[in-house]
Amino acid sequence: QPLGSASPTISSSSSSFVPIDQHHVQDAIQVINEHKQFNQQIMEYIHGATLPGQIVGNDYHIISVFGSQSTGKSTLLNRLFNTNFDVMEESRRQQTTKGIWMAVSPEVSTTSSKKSTENVFVMDVEGTDGRERGEDQDFERKAALFALATSEILIINIWETQVGLYQGANMGLLKTVFEVNLSLFGQSKLENNTHKVLLLIVIRDHIGVTPLQALAETLITDLNKMWLDLSKPAELSHLKFSDFFDVDFHALHHKVLQPDEFSKDVKLLGDRLVVKKELFKPNYHHQIPVDGWTMYAENCWDQIDNNKDLDLPTQQILVAKFKCDEISNGVYDEFVAKHHGLFDDKVPGENVDYEQMGLAMVDLREDTLDDYDTSASRYNQTIYEQKRQALKEKIHAKFREVFDVHAKWVVETGVGQFATDIKKLKTRKDKSFFQGAQELEHKYVSLINTSLQLISLGEFHDSEVILDVKARFDAVVAKQQVVEMKAIIGRALAKIDAGVSKALQQELASPDDQTWERVMARFHELLAEVKARYAGTGTVPDFGLGTSDSDNVAGVERLQVQAWVALHSVVHRVITRDSVLQLMKDKFEDVFRYDENGMPRLYQKVEELETSFGAARKQTQQMVPVLEEMRTSEGAVVPRYSARAMRAAGFGARARASDAASEGSDDDSNSDSDDSDNETTPTPFSQVLSPADRDHVASRFKRETDAQFVETKRLVIQHATH
């Protein structure tokens, strides 16, 4: 029947064994029963037999005793380890239950009064001498495999009387042990595995006549001989007995005949184990932390019982993987619970303290990893580290959810404030827009970085939010650069507008054939002046905006084109149909009514009046050809840019209402088919007054001066007749 369903078999306390020293005695538990089943309750037993935290990780030892029935194995274990394994009663001489038993030693018997703190598990392998009774050598072999796969020290009993008898009791068992050991560790020995087992040969009923040294030499000779006789695979044949085993000896006096000496000998063995600690060595340990021991032992037994090759390193890795995962999942669940508590209610905003939040994250991560390390670090290093890394990544993924939410807010806010502040940037003599923008960007980027660094655990540099920051800032700067350049060009155009307007106003007092020469000269002068401000250092202009060379070149180009548009618009604002008419009226008045000295003229005769009137009108009318068209000695003024470029600069929109840019001044006017189709007769750029305007001005002027003439003539005639 399976062991799980029955209560674990605990060795009976009806045993006749009564310890001499009154120590606490620990009952044993059956690890493998006579049906070769593994006991599921080993871990419970270990927990029950030890104090919480008494055994941490690999801080325990396993010693097995192995050998023929009735060689005093259980007796030795009970005396040495204060356990309660079944001992055959003299009176009954029956075989004890077959199987593998284990007990936690509550205390190792020593000559010292101080209790040792070593944790020792003891395994008693019962009923292994199948060869003597001609039965079940299978179990003997499996038990040996199990003992070697788990134990650091293997105790073998030999009666003194049998030393030197090569075929004596237990020597056959040793052969099995050698073979089995070779199958377990042979292959890994070739890969420089340093693992060994200590064969502790205990000579029983040692009378003391033959010194232990001599007995040991004899036994070593026998062991070597046995090793040489062993049939080994060819690739392992060069390996020595000592590559696999350390051997040590201890002699016990006759238990019945020399009970005191026997007792002393047992305590001396205890001294060697836990006081002098000369028998345990690190390379005997199988490096399975106690939490994983049951799983490891059961896996090993499963492989052994199913006659599979028992590959110990693989088993160690499997156990390490399973346990490290289990530990990792456990600590991660706790982590998630704490994480919820700490961060779920933290809504991004002004009142989140990122320093405190970052510290809480670091603390939580460290606590979680510490918890993991405490339990997992003693498993196979590679697996432990792999699983630790995986755990760390899971932790970071969880933190990253928080990070992303807050980072988004921090970046949004920073970029938003930057966009507001950059609009208010005052360009000063000593600091260009670009320098100001850079300082501002630096300020906000470091504000963002500081906040994010606090909650990034130094890990999230690849976060999209962070990778995006630079682009976000660049976009704000680029947008503002466009605004700033527009403003700069706007100011330059205003300056040109004002300058040209002033020059024109001056000309209007008395326009002559040099008028447009001077106006255009002033225009070019103003344009050169504003361009000089953005001349830059080399051949490329610079607006101090941090814009690209090509943007700067395009900016200056736009400024120039728009300057022409501005010129056109100023001229048309100042010189209109009405303003020209008014100018002419004023001028006529001046010439007709006043003499060269500014004195009012008094006309005496009609002839005089007629001459003067004709001259004044002619002189006045001379203004019109000057003003009606922008013309210099080089001919009609033509912008240096194509109609298309002019329209792009806003010329078309304004011009279409009254005028249109001159076509054919540049190359690509034909490509603009839309406009060419509509405009049957394009108005030249240089045209200030249209023919209709001119007719209007001429007729109005004529009508008004005619009226004046008639009126004046009437006065002259009246005067003459009186």
CB contact set of 193 (below 8 Å; sequence gap of 6+): 185
The minimum distance between CB 226 and ligand GDP, in angstroms, equals: 22
CA separation for the pair 637, 686 (Å, rounded): 5
Select from 10, 43, 56, 88 the one that contacts ligand GDP (CB under 6 A): 88
The minimum distance between CB 73 and ligand GDP, in angstroms, equals: 3
The minimum distance between CB 163 and ligand GDP, in angstroms, equals: 15
If one asks whether residue 75 binds ligand GDP (CB under 6 A), the answer comes out as yes
Query: 3-state class of 379 per DSSP?
Result: coil
Q: Tell me the residue nearest to ligand GDP as measured from the CB.
A: 72
The minimum distance between CB 85 and Mg ion, in angstroms, equals: 6
Nearest residue (CB) to ligand GDP, 75 versus 562: 75
Taken in order 538, 539, 544, 545, the sign of the CA dihedral is negative
Select from 45, 62, 73, 319 the one that contacts ligand GDP (CB under 6 A): 73
Site stretch for Mg ion (CB under 5 A), options 67-75, 604-612, 647-655, 659-667: 67-75
If one asks whether residue 74 binds Mg ion (CB under 5 A), the answer comes out as yes
Whether 687 contacts 659, CB under 8 Å: yes
CB contact set of 590 (below 8 Å; sequence gap of 6+): none
Site stretch for ligand GDP (CB under 6 A), options 2-10, 253-261, 278-286, 600-608: 253-261
The minimum distance between CB 27 and ligand GDP, in angstroms, equals: 16
If one asks whether residue 260 binds ligand GDP (CB under 6 A), the answer comes out as no
The minimum distance between CB 290 and Mg ion, in angstroms, equals: 25
- Within 53-72, the residues that bind ligand GDP by CB under 6 A are 69-72
Binding site partner of 567, from ligand GDP, Mg ion, none, Cβ cut-off 5-8 A by kind: none
DSSP class of residue 96?
P
Give the x-and-dash track for 203-242 against ligand GDP (CB under 6 A).
-xx-------------------------------------
# chain residues binding Mg ion, by CB under 5 A: 2
The minimum distance between CB 64 and ligand GDP, in angstroms, equals: 13
Select from 142, 250, 255, 378 the one that contacts ligand GDP (CB under 6 A): 255
Site stretch for Mg ion (CB under 5 A), options 65-73, 160-168, 183-191, 451-459: 65-73
If one asks whether residue 137 binds ligand GDP (CB under 6 A), the answer comes out as no
Site stretch for ligand GDP (CB under 6 A), options 250-258, 264-272, 507-515, 612-620: 250-258
CA separation for the pair 380, 582 (Å, rounded): 105
* Phi-psi group of 659: left, alpha or beta (phi > 0 → left; psi -120 to 50 → alpha; rest → beta): beta
Select from 11, 74, 456, 515 the one that contacts ligand GDP (CB under 6 A): 74
Nearest residue (CB) to ligand GDP, 256 versus 599: 256
- Within 286-315, the residues that bind Mg ion by CB under 5 A are none
CA separation for the pair 361, 346 (Å, rounded): 13
Q: How many CB atoms lie within 10 A of CB 234?
A: 6
If one asks whether residue 256 binds ligand GDP (CB under 6 A), the answer comes out as yes
**Buried b / exposed e along 336-374 (16+ C-beta atoms within 10 A):** eeebeeebeebebeeebebeebbebbeebbeebbebbee
If one asks whether residue 87 binds ligand GDP (CB under 6 A), the answer comes out as yes
CA separation for the pair 679, 693 (Å, rounded): 19
Cα angle 595-597-602, degrees, rounded to a multiple of 5: 35
Whether 87 contacts 146, CB under 8 Å: no
Select from 36, 254, 408, 577 the one that contacts ligand GDP (CB under 6 A): 254
* Phi-psi group of 458: left, alpha or beta (phi > 0 → left; psi -120 to 50 → alpha; rest → beta): left
**Buried b / exposed e along 275-311 (16+ C-beta atoms within 10 A):** beeebbeeebbbbbbbbbbbbbbbbbbebbbeeeebe
Amino acid letter for position 625:
P
Nearest residue (CB) to ligand GDP, 10 versus 88: 88
# chain residues binding ligand GDP, by CB under 6 A: 16
Query: Which residues pair with residue 157 across a beta bridge?
Result: 202
Cα first-last separation, the chain: 162
Binding site partner of 472, from ligand GDP, Mg ion, none, Cβ cut-off 5-8 A by kind: none
The minimum distance between CB 396 and ligand GDP, in angstroms, equals: 56
Binding site partner of 204, from Mg ion, ligand GDP, none, Cβ cut-off 5-8 A by kind: ligand GDP
Nearest residue (CB) to Mg ion, 72 versus 436: 72
**Among candidate residues 191, 66, 205, the one with its CA nearest the CA of residue 129:** 66
Q: How many CB atoms lie within 10 A of CB 16?
A: 11
- Rule CB under 6 A: which residues touch ligand GDP? 69-75, 87-88, 90, 204-205, 252, 254-256
- Rule CB under 5 A: which residues touch Mg ion? 73-74
